[in-house]
Amino acid sequence: MKLSVFFLLGLGTGVSWGAGKWGMVDTNGTWRLPEKYEEIGEFRGDLKRSFTLPEFLPGVKGAKVRKWLKAEGDEVKGGQALAEVELTEPALPVESPIAGMLVKIGVPKGGAAIPGSALGSVRNLGHVGLFEKKQFDVICPGYGPNPGSATVVRWLKDEGDAVLKGDKIAEVRPKEAMAMLQAPGSGTLVRIEVKEGEEAKVGQAVAKMGMGRVPVKSGGEWFYADERGTRVTQDRYLAVGSMLGGMAPVRVGEKWAFVDGEGRLIPKATDGKKGNGFSLGISEKAEYDEARKVRGGLAAVRLLDRWGYVAYQEGGIRVAIAPRFLQAKDFSEGLAAVEESEDAPVAEGTEVTDEKGEEEAKKPAGPAAWGYILPSGKLWGRLDFAVAGDFLDGRAAVRALGENMPWVLIDSKMKTRTMKNYGGLVPLGAKRVAWRQDGGWGLMDLQERVMEIRPGLKNQDGEGVGQDVLEVVGPFGDQRAPAKEPGGKWGYLDPEGKWAIPPRFERANVFHGGLAAAKEPGGKWGYLRPDGSWGLEPKYTKARAFTDGLAAVSEQGEVELGPEGTMGGNWE
């Protein structure tokens, strides 16, 4: 497998740092996957994710849990019954069997009825033959395997009223209406929130499921496992991506395809709809030349030398934006940067739109240029840029076409939002931006207010300038950004440019979920809390970032430095 391909999928470095095997720990340091894998990618699937009581019937606002059929820690399949529930105050609609007149109410309001028995009758007032039935019973509905008797709540129509077939003419309430609570997906029943005998309201969390997926490598090939290490895919792949949006890219031979959470190859959508002008005729075999993980609901794919986007809808892959771009980045905050040129024709049905919604021909007449598109595939603004970055906090760093053009920040309407000339700009989140004019990097907010990183560094007006003081600064997470000072040590800045965690580490990664991997000088890897204390003591020979509660680590082999974050690069 090509390591560079794996890197593009956002799984960290995607390389084995040493001879030691990889495993995974949770935020308490408990081993969740044993140290037996050659490589491990991103874990995706929040173990704290709750699933709620569904609305089984219109008007049913709650239910009582009669019996849990699975215990905490049990593995379950999607759609499998987890619990028996008794619906509270279900109101079942009674519909007219034909169009005609309600001629008889047999069971009055408050009366008892047996599901399947007659409540009244409706007469056909239209032309009927001599031997055709003229009158039809209104049947009491039931719900569940043992509905028992029911009570007529109310009649919505009176005797003599005209009714249409399917009209609601009454409501009944079964004395006992049972239903099954089903697992929303395959995984582990982590915690039961509503005990047996307790009631829950519609929308209330009744349990927590672990439905995670993590790509792991063993025997030189990749497959997917859940958060307990149980294999969920039978096939093996040469390269894989993260399981996001219900699907993940996989490489089979020289081509790419997508699989769902159960490891099944996802076929093309079969309802006949076409994406942005035409369909690619995607079959169940792998046929993309390159594919990336889902971001913003869409996954970028390449066919030959052109990029487009696909989506996972109704159990199939649908072409969302037909391949026509020389290069394409992932969607972020509703926009994706793409590179297009005059020899990349706009597909049929694809308009070019500015922020006012007006259609104009704005394709470049010369060399390739970057611009932004909407999820519909429409071009948003002009193809004006030599370089275009992702949007973060409503801003993107771009550089215009031409020699020695400065970097500027633009907003989502393509308007320039910076006044000064910069040699580099990198949005970091937390409404902060790294900026460069000379040799080093500084920190400013979205209004170009400079943060004073080095105390005492003032301009002639006595204002803090804080420039040229950082070699590298990374994205913010939990209000902390990893930063490398000129002396070569790493620490963490807060949004005001203060050292929240002083620089003393050989390596420092981004905070995720309250923890960040950092390496002690000459020592091992551990995980820091935002206050600078150790959440997990430094005892690992290698460590990656936490995603959805799990992180890949190893205690085996020699201590590895691992990759170092770079300005505007891929950070874990």
In a domain, 260, yes or no: no
Q: What is the spatial distance between Cα 399 and Cα 118, in angstroms, rounded to a whole number? A: 76
**Length of the chain as a residue count:** 572
Note the pTM of the prediction, 2 decimals: 0.71
Q: What is the spatial distance between Cα 380 and Cα 396, in angstroms, rounded to a whole number? A: 14
Amino acid residing at 562: G
CA angle 202, 204, 207 (to 5 degrees): 120
In a domain, 279, yes or no: no
In a domain, 448, yes or no: no
Give me the pLDDT at residue 142, please: 75
Q: What is the spatial distance between Cα 492 and Cα 273, in angstroms, rounded to a whole number? A: 50
Give me the pLDDT at residue 145, please: 60
User: 97: domain CATH number?
Assistant: 2.40.50.100
Give the Cβ contact number of residue 557 at 10 Å: 15
In a domain, 124, yes or no: yes
pLDDT means per 10 residues, the chain with 572 residues, are: 30 49 93 94 74 75 88 81 83 88 92 90 76 84 71 91 91 81 80 89 85 89 86 86 89 91 81 41 66 94 95 88 95 95 44 38 62 94 92 96 94 95 95 90 94 66 62 96 93 96 96 96 97 98 92 95 87 76
Q: What is the spatial distance between Cα 432 and Cα 449, in angstroms, rounded to a whole number? A: 10
In a domain, 390, yes or no: no
Which of these, 360, 282, 283, lies nearest to 323 by C-alpha position? 282
In a domain, 528, yes or no: no
Give me the pLDDT at residue 46, please: 56
**Whether the Cβ atoms of residue 250 and residue 258 lie closer than 8 Å to each other:** yes
Give me the pLDDT at residue 124, please: 85
- Residue 121 domain boundaries: 48-210
Query: What single string gives the DSSP state of each residue in 91-105?
Result: -EEEE-SSSEEEEEE
CA angle 456, 457, 461 (to 5 degrees): 100
Helix (H, G, I), strand (E, B) or coil at 3: helix
In a domain, 553, yes or no: no
In a domain, 188, yes or no: yes
Give me the pLDDT at residue 276, please: 40
- Domains: count for the chain: 1
- Please provide residue 96's backbone torsions phi and psi, each rounded to the nearest 5 degrees: -70, 135
**Whether the Cβ atoms of residue 199 and residue 53 lie closer than 8 Å to each other:** no
Q: What is the spatial distance between Cα 245 and Cα 295, in angstroms, rounded to a whole number? A: 8
